[in-house]
Amino acid sequence: MTRSFLTALLLAATAPLAAQPLPTPTPAPSTPPKYLPTVPKAVAEIRDAALSDNHAWDIVEGLTVEVGQRMGGTEAEARARVWAVAKLKALGFANVHVERFAMPVWTRGPESAEIVAPFPQKLAVTAFGNSASTPAQGIVGEIVGFDSVADLMAAPDSAVRGKIVFVTHAMPRTQDGSGYGYFGGPRRQGPSIASRKGAIGIVVRSIGTDSHRNPHAGGQQFEPGVAPIPAGALSRPDAEQLQRILKRGQPVTLRLTLVSSVRPGESGNVIAEVPGRDPKAPILMVGGHLDSWDLGTGAVDDGAGVAITAAAAKRIMAAGRPLRTIRVVWFGAEEMGLYGGMFYKDVHGREAHHAIAESDFGAGRIWKVDSKFGKAREAEGMALQAALAPLGIVPGSLDAADGSDIGPMIEDGMPAVGLSQDGTYYFDLHHTPDDTLDKIDPEALRQNVAAWTAMLAVLSGGIEPQPRARQRR
Ligand SMILES: [Zn+2]
């Protein structure tokens, strides 16, 4: 079609209407843009300098190479604490110490799963934390399958008694990881429900989003009064294979070996501080958890978190003295049941905290900032939003924050910040052998450090350059 022909067509179409005035629709009211306060130059500078940070990589690389996996309460976690104290002292932190606590230590032994009948074959399995142990030769039982925890709950006990329960689910991949809450039910509640109904064991589809033959470990606690039974995860491909086998309609028999042991032991929180100019000012507490699952090296969960938060505090320390004390906490035994977080709350929960924040969602870029300081401090939340926006971070809620170890303290009303990391791929690696250093993108890690540094700079009450730094100006 030629241009002139098109013009003629358009003219012909509009000509009859041009004679009479057209009604003008009322324009939709435009939402006013959110005006955030100007970012102080000192905050912008320290934030942007952190984009070339190497401290965080140095910490997570050192921890994963020199310690490796570090299950809560184990000898490996004890070595991690020794490593952490030396590292934090070397970085120049003050008041570096360990606050120890007792805990039951669960340790994984040999594990395997195989279908005995009707189609003998091996399945990839791993035990959940606090699983009961099977005998060395395993247990053998008929499988009864369910599509959800609700279906398991609704089943008559007679359908479950003496059998091995299998529960599947359809956890989706999401940026904010929100699927983990609901779709984690088979792991968190499944074992207790199955035991109450008389099952001899339970396997669930891994709470994850990858398609590798990597089962995902994870914590679960048997409810009080419920007898522990062997409980574990099948990798996603193996869970799907088991579903196909069950669909054939014949009785399916599984041999499940999940050997483990429990003994009394101890863990601890590693604490380090950047002392503030005003010792009476409420403190800023940031951290992650030092323990990890045992299948990978705990690089993403949560080597990255301890590295990011300590690196940010180190950058503030290097810039000068903040008004408020910054306390870095590397929590012990988070994975086995928030032991470190609960212990910190017991010991320090009544101290005045200006804000608390935890990095425990991997090493992806931060995309959103939430805060929960209370109505009277919303301006501070907006100052924080403004300081982070240039890093590509969306201003989020002024009335929300979350965190694993710090969750109970947030519930108690402690002011808190939530820096949301992109979790699109987090549940591919989470609690699997794939949680290793190579999965961390150094540039994303630096963006995290810049965000945490800016957050500390905004909330620190002002950083006074050290005398030496002042002379150089
Ligand atoms: Zn974690």
Q: What string of H, E and C letters represents the secondary structure of 234-299?
A: ECHHHHHHHHHHHHCCCCCEEEEEEEEEEEEEEEEEEEEEECCCCCCCCEEEEEEECCCCCCCCCH
* The pLDDT of residue 472 is above 90: no
Q: What is the pLDDT of residues 243-275, one digit of tens each?
A: 999 999 999 999 999 999 999 999 999 999 999
Ligand 1 centroid–CA 220 distance in Å is 14
356 pLDDT band, cuts 50/70/90, is very high
Residue 18's pLDDT is 54
CB-facing half-sphere around the CA of 252: CA atoms within 13 A: 23
- Where is average pLDDT lowest: 80-84, 182-186, 258-262, 465-469? 465-469
Ligand 1 centroid–CA 289 distance in Å is 7
Ligand 1 centroid–CA 251 distance in Å is 38
Ligand 1 centroid–CA 431 distance in Å is 9
What is the rounded CA–CA span in Å between residue 2 and residue 454? 58
Q: What is the pLDDT of residues 82-114, one digit of tens each?
A: 999 999 999 999 999 999 999 999 999 999 999
Report the chain's C-alpha Rg in angstroms: 27
On average, the pLDDT of the chain sits at 94
**Which amino acid, residue 81?**
R
Ligand 1 centroid–CA 442 distance in Å is 19
* The pLDDT of residue 125 is above 60: yes
* The pLDDT of residue 153 is above 70: yes
In eight-state DSSP terms, residue 338 is S
Ligand 1 centroid–CA 307 distance in Å is 13
Ligand 1 centroid–CA 151 distance in Å is 29
* The pLDDT of residue 473 is above 70: no
Q: b vs e for 160-196, b when ≥16 Cβ sit within 10 Å of the residue's Cβ? A: beebbbbbbbebeeeeebebbeebbbbbbbbbbbbbb
* The pLDDT of residue 471 is above 60: no
Ligand 1 centroid–CA 288 distance in Å is 8
**Bridge partners of 72?**
none
Residue 12's pLDDT is 46
Ligand 1 centroid–CA 243 distance in Å is 30
Ligand 1 centroid–CA 303 distance in Å is 9
* The pLDDT of residue 7 is above 50: no
Ligand 1 centroid–CA 309 distance in Å is 14
Ligand 1 centroid–CA 361 distance in Å is 6
H or E segment and range at residue 380: helix 378-388
Residue 468's pLDDT is 58
H or E segment and range at residue 63: helix 55-66
* ω into 238 cis (within 30 of 0): no
Ligand 1 centroid–CA 205 distance in Å is 20
What is the rounded CA–CA span in Å between residue 246 and residue 240? 10
pTM passes above 0.85? yes
What is the rounded CA–CA span in Å between residue 469 and residue 50? 17
- CA-closest candidate to residue 299, choices 400, 431, 131: 431
Token code pair at residue 11 = 């003219």
Residue 33's pLDDT is 62
- CA-based torsion, 386, 392, 397, 399: positive or negative: negative
Ligand 1 centroid–CA 15 distance in Å is 67
Ligand 1 centroid–CA 412 distance in Å is 21
6 pLDDT band, cuts 50/70/90, is very low
In the block, residue with structure tokens 């590295």? 307
- Tell me the mean pLDDT in the region 399-412: 96
Token code pair at residue 2 = 């030629």
Token code pair at residue 431 = 């609690």
Q: What is the pLDDT of residues 294-336, one digit of tens each?
A: 999 999 999 999 999 999 999 999 999 999 999 999 999 999 9
Ligand 1 centroid–CA 196 distance in Å is 29
Residue 109's pLDDT is 98
Ligand 1 centroid–CA 357 distance in Å is 14
Q: What is the pLDDT of residues 272-289, one digit of tens each?
A: 999 999 999 999 999 999
- Tell me the mean pLDDT in the region 58-79: 98
In eight-state DSSP terms, residue 399 is B
Ligand 1 centroid–CA 4 distance in Å is 66
Ligand 1 centroid–CA 218 distance in Å is 10
Residue 32's pLDDT is 62
Instruction: Give the number of other CB atoms < 10 A from CB of residue 328.
Output: 26
Token code pair at residue 387 = 């300081």
- Where is average pLDDT lowest: 106-115, 177-186, 446-455? 177-186
Ligand 1 centroid–CA 28 distance in Å is 45
* The pLDDT of residue 441 is above 90: yes
